[in-house]
């Protein structure tokens, strides 16, 4: 009999942030295929005899084929992905591959780093009277700086650390205030979490020695990090 695949969000890093449903499926799966950023404590929750396969160097097509192959061999598979599977997680591509192959699947949402990582630094991405709009971007991809600079509220950039100087300069060039409070939060929710806060114009230099994974949060809500997260600005405006 063909097995099922569950695309399970593992949460942002802290193993305690997986959902109850996700943990249930993980504890009774026959195979777990996990991303690099997923907590090892979660992979250890799979039954002792379950196959454990790290994503490693496999590309997306290879992962899709692997999921289909494992399910066709009769195994119930948990595909354990960082954060939420459908937010910059390529979970949609895996789900489409499963539909195409006629494999039954379930999506178990996860706590995305989108709000959880800023929260861990004392930053609510929305806050009444401060920000009622959140714009999410892939900092790695092509960016429309004019529309991003004009968007009110909070801007959250995933995978933006490597291009932080370009991101800040592009936004300022297109009209975003250079003094806009900006945070870089690395390894959010992990014990080794690091947070740097600085004005937009100075964030790249302030976050120079930060390692990925990191989320960039730009907007007035970042000012709350001082009161709610005890984070002081790294440099003056």
Asked if 89 is part of the footprint of ligand SAM (rule: CB under 6 A), the reply reads yes
Measure the CA–CA gap between 164 and 162, rounded to whole angstroms. 6
Q: Phi and psi for 186 in degrees, rounded to 5?
A: -110, 145
Measure the CA–CA gap between 119 and 225, rounded to whole angstroms. 9
User: Please, are residues 137 and 217 in contact by the beta-carbon 8 Å criterion?
Assistant: no
Asked if 212 is part of the footprint of ligand SAM (rule: CB under 6 A), the reply reads yes
Measure the CA–CA gap between 176 and 233, rounded to whole angstroms. 19
Site for ligand SAM in 171-200 (CB under 6 A): 185-189
* CB-nearer residue toward ligand SAM: 3 or 213: 213
Site for ligand SAM in 2-61 (CB under 6 A): 12-13, 37
Asked if 118 is part of the footprint of ligand SAM (rule: CB under 6 A), the reply reads no
Q: Kindly tell me which residue out of 3, 84, 103, 199 binds ligand SAM, with binding defined by CB under 6 A.
A: 84
What sign results for the dihedral spanned by CA atoms 159, 162, 168, 171? negative
3-state secondary structure of 226: helix
Q: Kindly tell me which residue out of 77, 117, 137, 221 binds ligand SAM, with binding defined by CB under 6 A.
A: 117
CB of 48: closest distance to ligand SAM in angstroms?
Answer: 28
Positions touching ligand SAM (CB under 6 A) are 12-13, 37, 82-84, 87-89, 112-113, 117, 158-159, 185-189, 212-215
């Amino acid at each position: 009999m063909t097995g099922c695949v569950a695309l399970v969000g593992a949460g942002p890093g802290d193993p305690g942030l997986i959902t109850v449903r996700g943990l249930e499926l993980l504890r009774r799966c026959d195979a777990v295929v996990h991303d690099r950023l997923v907590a090892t404590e979660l992979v250890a929750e799979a039954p002792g005899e379950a196959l454990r396969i790290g994503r490693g160097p496999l590309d997306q097509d290879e992962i899709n084929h692997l999921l289909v192959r494992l399910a066709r061999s009769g195994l119930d598979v948990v595909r354990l992905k960082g954060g939420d599977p459908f937010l910059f997680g390529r979970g949609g591509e895996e789900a489409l591959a499963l539909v195409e192959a006629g494999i039954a699947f379930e999506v178990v949402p996860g706590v995305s780093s989108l709000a959880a990582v800023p929260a861990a630094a004392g930053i609510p991405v929305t806050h009444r009277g401060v920000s009622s709009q959140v714009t999410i971007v892939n900092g790695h991809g092509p960016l429309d700086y004019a529309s991003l600079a004009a968007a009110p509220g909070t801007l959250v950039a995933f995978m933006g650390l490597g291009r932080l100087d370009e991101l800040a300069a592009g936004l300022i060039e297109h009209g975003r205030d250079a003094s806009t409070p900006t945070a870089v939060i690395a390894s959010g929710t992990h014990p080794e979490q690091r947070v740097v806060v600085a004005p937009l114009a100075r964030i790249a230099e302030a976050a120079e020695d930060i390692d990925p994974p990191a989320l960039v949060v730009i907007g007035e809500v970042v000012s709350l990090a001082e009161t709610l997260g005890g984070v002081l600005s790294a440099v003056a405006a």
